[in-house]
Amino acid sequence: MKFEVYVPRNERDLLTFLSRRKGVARIIAGGTSIIPDIRTRKISPICLVDVSHLSNMRYIKRQKDRVRIGALTRIQDLKSKILKKTGCKAFEQVAGNFGGTAIANMATVGGNLAVASSSSDLVPVFLSLEANVLLKSSTGEREIGLEDLMVEKSKTARKTPELIAEVNFQLPATGKKISLFRKIGKRSSIFLAFLSLATFLWVDEAGVIKQARLAFNQVRSGTPGRARNVENALGGQNLNEATIERAVGRLSLDISNPFRQQTAAEYWNLASRNLLEEQLRQCTAEMS
Amino acid sequence: MRKLIFTVNGKRRTCLVRDHETLLEVLRNRLGLKGAKDGCSTGDCGACAVIVDNRLVNSCLMLAIQARGSKILTIEGIGSRQRLHRLQRAFIEEGAVQCGYCTPAMILAAKSLLDHQIKPSEEAIRNEISGILCRCTGYNQIVRAIQASSQRRTRR
Amino acid sequence: MRSSSQFNIIGKPVERIDAVRKVLGDPVYAADLIPNDSLHIKLVRAQLPHAKIVNIDISTASRAKGVRGVLTARDIPGVNISSCIIPDRPLLAHGKVRCVGDIIAAVIAEDIDTAADAASLVNVEYEPLPVISSPSESLRHESIKVHENGNIVRHLRIRKGDVEKGFAESDIIVENSYATQFQDPTPIEPEAGFSRPNSDGLVTFRGSMQNPHYVRGAIARILGTREDKVRVVQADTGGTFGTKSDEVAMDIGGLTAISSIMMHKPVSLVYTREESMVLHSKRHPFTIKHKTGVTKDGLLRAAEIELVADTGAYASNGPLVLLRAIFHSTGPYVIPNVKADGLCVYTNNTIAGSFRGFGNPQAHFAAECQMDAVASKLGMDPLEFRLKNILRPGASTASGQILDESVGLEECADIVRDSSRWSDKRAEYKASQGRLRKGIGLALMYHGNSIGPEGADIATATVTLTKSGVVFKIGLTEYGTGARSGLAQIIAEVIGVPLELVKDEPADTATTEDSGGTFASRTTVMGGRAVMAAARAIRDKLNKVAAELLECHPSDVTIQDGIVRRSARSRMIPLGKLVDECSRRGVGLTEFARYTATGSAFDENTGQGTPYLQYTFGAVVAEVEVDTGLGLARAIKLTTAYDVGRAINPRGLEGQIEGGAAQALGYALMEELVHKNCEVANPSLSEYLIPTSIDVPEIESHLVEYPGRLGPFGAKAMGEPPIVAPAAAIVNAIYHATGVWVRELPATPDKILLAISL
């Protein structure tokens, strides 16, 4: 491991440096994915930019119905009171099974989104919340939907000098909100997700689903994404066994099996359906 | 080389480090504190865990210069041969030590937990140490040691 | 035999003698001790699993800044061999490579990053050869030879009775095939060591290892020098589970020794986790076929068993692993007619060798799942069926060995049945409905003590008593099990000193005699007999002198807690004073003892004889919960009982039982080192998963004591046995929960779910 590290004085300085060292400088925040990548020689950057001290990018705040999470917010911070109050259990579920205390204490929200792989637990969660991402560069800033940011496996639509500064999402002011997440792997804790699913439901007083958004860690090889046919089957319905069955039946329209190897592909087929069914049943439990 | 000033086990330390050196490398190679272990260098085993500004971190994933101005606590700052920390005592008494390679990290994780929660549940203990791999004990004796230590404290 | 309560120190849950330095984080492991002026080695590994080496070009690497040298096969001064039983493995590859764990070159540089950069500059030209990726390919394609003399390393047989007759007498015949995987031992400390040249022409190697005396022999051969020119010292070793008994320690010792002599400087070699997982030996994958004949009232009549082990590109300890596997392949049952054949074969996979259990976990996984399959065909309770057939005192094993002592299997089975509420839970869980299903299953086990007929089972020890206490030296090492603390207890018990006064010295070839290998769970049993004999000799001398002072017969002298007396009311002499008196009289209190275990032998053609001198027995009940929608199986409780002969340190035993169970749980449910076309596909701890604190359930352990003749105070081997039975118990519990068998380990969610959905 040999590289130089630039320590910017502030956010302005960081953005200027990124634009000057376009494509050369890589950002290090928590270090939980970039250091292993360098160690195992997957990448060999010559320059890193340390952003870990830019504490103004570490925040969770609620402005009316919008929740804003700074990119340097640590995974451990997702257990915070503000998020708990939103009723979105998904955050606690991500933080509670992220990679052990030390990793959750180091890894950041921005870092997890930047990795953009099927093993990023936050990607399906934020997709299900239809989150936007605030990108900053020396020439300005722009906000795009997270879904538009995830182009393909390990790639984002982020232009090189752009920095993921914030992720934000809107929560409906009325009605019941349910947000759940679960990931599946061989071990009961600390593993990269083989399969994960995040669900967001907005339900009115009469128990009718006003909005349903579901996202898997992969909808095709390596790419996270929404399951819109499933969502459509749920929208406007009461969440009961018949609805669940119909929604699960739509899943194959949304997903093209990410695996070529037969056992993995067959397992994915069965497990993704069953996980969806389980999570929707859990939503029913959450509603009552 | 860059000058790094930080506090390690209550003492202000200054040393020259290279940008790419991890906190683990600096603790072990420049400060001679060998208690934090290198088990994988990729954050998967947790043997390198230390406490930085009251948070448990994997020192193999943190660049040393990211610890500038921080307060670091390593196993060497926990107790001494003459005065073992109650966690160290409990680890010995409960048989939580076998090969010993994960022991410093386990003790620091336990300390970090007990600093935040007076009497954590078994589930909380298991979660707290879940990022630190032990291949000898099967963990249950470690969990019992942490429970024993927390009970001892609450009794006082 | 006395019961444990009659001992002062034996049988007490005492503190380990090495615990304090470990909780303090003292610098005691090899990587902690590397001198500041050390040079560092990075290895160049084979890029192909089977290929001729056309050329190795080290010129660019050698010229790189900071590089001090590059070793290839031609630089080895002595014999280019680093292997275990058969000299089939070169330290540095020459001519051809046989697996991706072959080492082509060692780059020596001023720092590890420089060495690593230079290692990537070593250019190797290969001519690829066809690859053997499995035992079946190895046996099918005899023309593709991993080694010149063919692909079969060893064929072993058991022939007992007449299986044809046995099957004819059977009402039901059950045939199944089982497969196990490469399991990585994953000691948390990766392999490490360094050599330092001494001014007197000696070289000292200090490292993480099990057997310093064997490593000394290997280094001396590699250097082409006499053993007395090489000193090997074991550093505190952060786990090994067998693998540091094999080639790795010799590789690191050999390469650092050569380079430190060449460079006149200390040279270190510390493996990364990836190097560790590719280079060290793993658990052998086995395929095991069982054909079992049983009468309708549940009596086993015949077993025909075929075992095939993949030892990878080199034999390592494969031949002995196969031996242990075949001798345990029936499970702990009386079967009058047995025919078993075992093959150990070469492939181009990385090496399989020593790993806790040494063939027995594989044998028991197959045998104990087979017992459940038979019970299920019979419609009998799996435990009741087993109890009709288990080994009891006087029974004859598959090798025709009559067990005339220390057979506590039935009591173990009774205990786990009662304490797990076996019958109630069998019924209760069977009735469970819904997506989450619980199941309860069990496995019985036995494990031969002693190393068997293929090596000298000796142990030596030196014990010294002074006024300051006892110091003992033994060539058997501590690597986490606590066995040396058990030795300290034995010494303290025999001499009569408080345990705190007993200290050990590191295993160092310059100061300790060869004591055989620290493997096969033999430290307590064999090492225990050696320290016991040495301590006994000291005690006899003390008794004699004390008897004169106390005016009594030597056999009337008691020494306890450092107090010497004749009877409860007699005059007391502090032990220190007695030691002074011995010194004054010229009575030396240093004793050396050697213990040799004899009597194991078997017939090569029939496998009949005494492969092991005594057996540890045990029973394990596993309870699981299976998510039948996702195929996730989780152990929720394990209940174990082991006949340990005599518990020296019950807490230490608990640690062995729980740790072994956790490792077995990983073996059962998640661990698999995958070889894809002979490349290791997952050499990292993010892809090769071992159990965490969340995966391991409550483990209730019971100790049963049927003292054996072999070990000190009747103690039996307990390092390896705990990993033998749990995997089968877990898989049997999954069957109970779901009605599906997983006959290929590990029982991962995909296998379980696909089986359920069939």
Question: Are residues C189 and B39, on separate chains, in Cβ contact within 8 Å?
Answer: yes
Question: Are residues A192 and C670, on separate chains, in Cβ contact within 8 Å?
Answer: no
Confidence of residue C36 (pLDDT cuts 50, 70, 90): very high
Q: Are strands A140-145 and C601-602 parallel, antiparallel or unpaired?
A: unpaired
**B135: nearest CB among C13, C690, C699:** C690
| Average pLDDT of the segment spanning A118-135 | 94
Asked if this assembly's ipTM is beyond 0.95, the reply is: yes
Q: Does C432 score more than 90 pLDDT?
A: no
Confidence of residue A223 (pLDDT cuts 50, 70, 90): confident
A188 contacts in B (CB within 8 Å)? Answer: none
Q: Average per-residue pLDDT in chain A? A: 92
Question: Are residues A186 and C669, on separate chains, in Cβ contact within 8 Å?
Answer: yes
- Distance, in Å, from the CA atom of C697 to the CA atom of C447, rounded to the nearest integer, reads 24
Question: What per-residue confidence (pLDDT) applies to A155?
Answer: 66
Question: What per-residue confidence (pLDDT) applies to B152?
Answer: 79
A1 contacts chain B (CB < 8 A): yes
**A186: nearest CB among C113, C670, C757:** C670
- C697-755: per-residue pLDDT in tens? 999 999 999 999 999 999 999 999 999 999 999 999 999 999 999 999 999 999 999 99
Question: Are residues C753 and A186, on separate chains, in Cβ contact within 8 Å?
Answer: no
**B131: nearest CB among A52, A53, A190:** A190
Confidence of residue C428 (pLDDT cuts 50, 70, 90): very high
Q: Please, which residues bridge with residue B11 across strands?
A: B8
Question: What per-residue confidence (pLDDT) applies to B154?
Answer: 61
Question: What per-residue confidence (pLDDT) applies to C2?
Answer: 41
Q: Does C536 score more than 90 pLDDT?
A: yes
**C239: nearest CB among B42, B101, B107:** B101
* Closest chain A residue to B49, measured at CA: A102
**pTM score, two decimals?**
0.97
Question: What per-residue confidence (pLDDT) applies to C490?
Answer: 98
The subunits that touch chain C, with at least 3 C-beta pairs less than 8 Å apart, are A, B
Q: Does A151 score more than 90 pLDDT?
A: no
- Distance, in Å, from the CA atom of C153 to the CA atom of C347, rounded to the nearest integer, reads 11
Selected for mutation to probe chain B from A3, A33, A35, A108 (highest B CB count within 10 Å) is A35
What is the percentage of chain C residues whose pLDDT exceeds 90?
A: 96
- C153-196: per-residue pLDDT in tens? 999 999 999 999 999 999 999 999 999 999 999 999 999 999 99
- Distance, in Å, from the CA atom of B98 to the CA atom of C263, rounded to the nearest integer, reads 37
| Average pLDDT of the segment spanning C479-497 | 97
B97 contacts chain C (CB < 8 A): yes
Question: What per-residue confidence (pLDDT) applies to A91?
Answer: 97
Buried b (16+ CB within 10 A) or exposed e, B53-73: eebbbbbbbbbbbbbbebbbb
Question: Are residues A101 and B63, on separate chains, in Cβ contact within 8 Å?
Answer: no
SS3 category, C254: helix
The subunits that touch chain A, with at least 3 C-beta pairs less than 8 Å apart, are B, C
| Average pLDDT of the segment spanning B5-31 | 97
Residue C542 token pair: 């003390």
* Closest chain A residue to B59, measured at CA: A102
What region, left, alpha or beta, does residue C277 occupy, with left being phi > 0 and alpha being psi -120 to 50 degrees?
alpha
In chain C, DSSP finds a helix count (H) and a strand count (E) of 20, 30
* 30-69 in chain B: CB under 8 A from chain C: 32, 34-42, 44-45, 47
Question: What per-residue confidence (pLDDT) applies to C414?
Answer: 98
Q: Are C472 and C504 in contact (CB under 8 A)?
A: yes
B115 contacts chain C (CB < 8 A): no
Question: Are residues B61 and A48, on separate chains, in Cβ contact within 8 Å?
Answer: no
| Average pLDDT of the segment spanning A87-106 | 94
Q: Average per-residue pLDDT in chain C? A: 96
Q: Are C242 and C185 in contact (CB under 8 A)?
A: yes
B124 contacts chain C (CB < 8 A): no
Question: Are residues C24 and B141, on separate chains, in Cβ contact within 8 Å?
Answer: no
C691 contacts in A (CB within 8 Å)? Answer: 187
C692 contacts in B (CB within 8 Å)? Answer: 130-131, 133, 139
Question: What per-residue confidence (pLDDT) applies to C115?
Answer: 97
Selected for mutation to probe chain C from B135, B137, B141, B144 (highest C CB count within 10 Å) is B135
B119 contacts chain C (CB < 8 A): no
Question: Are residues A30 and B61, on separate chains, in Cβ contact within 8 Å?
Answer: yes
Question: What per-residue confidence (pLDDT) applies to C456?
Answer: 76
Name A281's Cβ contacts closer than 8 Å, sequence gap at least 6: A244
Q: Please, which residues bridge with residue C195 across strands?
A: C205, C267
* 489-548 in chain C: CB under 8 A from chain A: none
Confidence of residue C433 (pLDDT cuts 50, 70, 90): confident
In chain B, DSSP finds a helix count (H) and a strand count (E) of 5, 5
Q: Does C459 score more than 50 pLDDT?
A: yes
A275 contacts in C (CB within 8 Å)? Answer: 629-630
* Closest chain B residue to C22, measured at CA: B100
C684 contacts in B (CB within 8 Å)? Answer: 40, 42, 44
Question: Are residues A184 and C750, on separate chains, in Cβ contact within 8 Å?
Answer: no
Q: Average per-residue pLDDT in chain B? A: 96
Q: In 10 A of CB C450, how many CB atoms?
A: 25
Q: Could you write out the DSSP letters of every residue in chain A?
A: ---EEE--SSHHHHHHHHHHTTTTEEEESS-TTHHHHHHTTS---SEEEE-TT-GGG--EEEETTEEEEETT-BGGGGGSHHHHHHTBHHHHHHHTTSSHHHHHHH-BHHHHHHH-STT-SHHHHHHHTT-EEEEEETTEEEEEEHHHHEEETTEES--TT-EEEEEEEE--SSSEEEEEEEEE-SSSSS---SEEEEEEEEE-TTSBEEEEEEEEEEEETTEEEE-HHHHHHHTTSB-SHHHHHHHHHHHHHH---S--SHHHHHHHHHHHHHHHHHHHHHHHHHH-
**A267: nearest CB among C670, C691, C750:** C750
SS3 sequence of C263-282: HCCCEEEECCHHHHHHHCCE
Q: Are C78 and C19 in contact (CB under 8 A)?
A: no
A86-100, B17-31, B92-106: least confidently modelled range: A86-100
How distant is the Cα of A40 from the closest Cα of chain B, in angstroms?
8
* 644-663 in chain C: CB under 8 A from chain A: none
Start-to-end CA distance of chain B, whole Å, equals 48
Q: Does A106 score more than 90 pLDDT?
A: yes
- C331-354: per-residue pLDDT in tens? 999 999 999 999 999 999 999 999
How distant is the Cα of A191 from the closest Cα of chain C, in angstroms?
7
Residue C386 token pair: 């087993």
- Distance, in Å, from the CA atom of C243 to the CA atom of C186, rounded to the nearest integer, reads 9
Question: Are residues B129 and C693, on separate chains, in Cβ contact within 8 Å?
Answer: yes
Confidence of residue C620 (pLDDT cuts 50, 70, 90): very high
* Closest chain A residue to B1, measured at CA: A4
Q: In 10 A of CB C650, how many CB atoms?
A: 17
CA proximity to C485, closest of C446, C438, C523: C523
Q: Please, which residues bridge with residue C461 across strands?
A: C474, C593
Q: Does C465 score more than 60 pLDDT?
A: yes
- C234-258: per-residue pLDDT in tens? 999 999 999 999 999 999 999 999 9
* 2-31 in chain B: CB under 8 A from chain C: 28
Estimate to the nearest angstrom the gap between the alpha carbon of A35 and the chain centroid.
21
Question: Are residues A189 and B22, on separate chains, in Cβ contact within 8 Å?
Answer: no
- C675-688: per-residue pLDDT in tens? 999 999 999 999 99
